[in-house]
Structure 1
Amino acid sequence: MYMASNQKGFTLIELVVVIVILGILAVTAAPKFLNLQNDARNASLQGLKGAIQGAAGIVYGKATIKGVESVADESITEGSTTINIDFGYPKATVTDLEAAVNGLKEDWDCEEDTTTTPNSVKCSFKGEASYLTTDDKCYVRYVQASSSQAASTIVSVDDSCK
């Protein structure tokens, strides 16, 4: 059998060096990709915060047009939807918040917290009730307006969301 002396190819040492380099790159890049779930959770919660803020602003605008932005315990109706308001902003009830924010009922678990003054609603990821604990920061809290000088507030999450 004749073997040409100019055969080209990789030696075993070259292949091992390439595999080691790829392993090092994989180890340094993996932590960046493993944190994508936390980033997605935080982005979803920030999106919910924005949706609630936008809806509260629209409700306040409609209340202003109606002339009830400084009145407690009022309601506004748009089509077949009625939203109870205090000082122009939606009341902190699950029903009123769901009426103001499209998709809230389908995508999020919300519960009323009447232990706070003023009342508030906490919303977390659908099907993950463990995120409603007070120690966790994986939720968005909507706090009802307490006077005509104090607008409703939305407390968001920080980067410690699990």
Structure 2
Amino acid sequence: MKRQGGFTLIELVVVIVILGILAVTAAPRFLNLQDDARNSALQGLKGAMDGAAGIVYGKAAIRGNEASASEVAVDGVQTIFGYPTAAANGIGAAFESGDWAVAPTSVTGGSALPAGQIGYTFSDRTAAGCYVRYTQATSGAIATTLVVDGDGCTLD
């Protein structure tokens, strides 16, 4: 008689159970990409705002408005010291804000941002700490600052 080689049913079941346990414990760590995607989108928004501010500053410098301490409109964008102001008609008009909205106080930590700052977040986002904060220039020597607060970009 020939002896058949192969795996027994018990061995196959044990291997399947081990693979199932690995899938249950390890897969969520690798498959939860939404948080990373939100943070990457905020970094992209920061880059878009930074680029838009640079372009507006260039246009203001060509017109000689880069040292103006009062608000000046440059191609429909309100500027101060050549950079967009922290307002919807400032930085909000300088970049394509279709998927983004001004961050409500629930997103910015329960209180309004100080004067000279504005936050942008996802249009459908309400969790605190998931926005890009734009601070307008306060003098000709100091440009705008952009800060990404992505701590609250986890799933609700």
- Taking structure 2 as the reference length, the TM-score comes to 0.81
Of 69, 88, 95, which aligns to 2:82? Answer: 88
Query: 2:78·2:89 contact (CA, 8 Å) conserved in 1?
Result: no
Provide, for residues 9-28 of structure 1, a one-character-per-residue CA deviation record: whole Å limited to 9, x for no partner.
53112211220231233134
- Aligned 8 A contact 2:103 2:131 in 1: no
The aligned length equals: 147
Q: Which runs of 5+ in 2 are unaligned?
A: 106-111
Which structure is larger by alpha-carbon Rg, 1 or 2? Answer: 1
Q: Over aligned residue pairs, what C-alpha RMSD do you find?
A: 2.3
Measure how far apart 1:45 and its partner are: 0.7
Instruction: Report the TM-score, using the length of structure 1 for normalisation.
Output: 0.79
Asked if 2 retains the 8 angstrom alpha-carbon contact of 1:137 and 1:160, the reply is yes
Cα–Cα, structure 1 residues 94 and 10, in superposed 2: closer, same or farther, change >3 Å?
same
Q: Secondary structure at the match of 1:99?
A: helix
Given residue 84 of structure 1, which amino acid in structure 2 is its aligned partner? Q
Q: Hey, what's the Cα distance between the residues in 1 that align with 2:150 and 2:8?
A: 52
1:54 maps onto 2:51 in alignment:
yes
Query: Which has the larger share of helix?
Result: 1
Equivalence for 1:44: 41
- Runs (4 or more) in structure 1 with deviation over 6 Å come to none
Q: Greater shift after overlay, 52-61 or 17-26?
A: 17-26
The 5 A counterparts of 1:54-133 are 54-72=51-69, 73-77=71-75, 82-102=76-96, 104=97, 106-111=98-103, 116-117=114-115, 119-128=116-125, 130-131=126-127
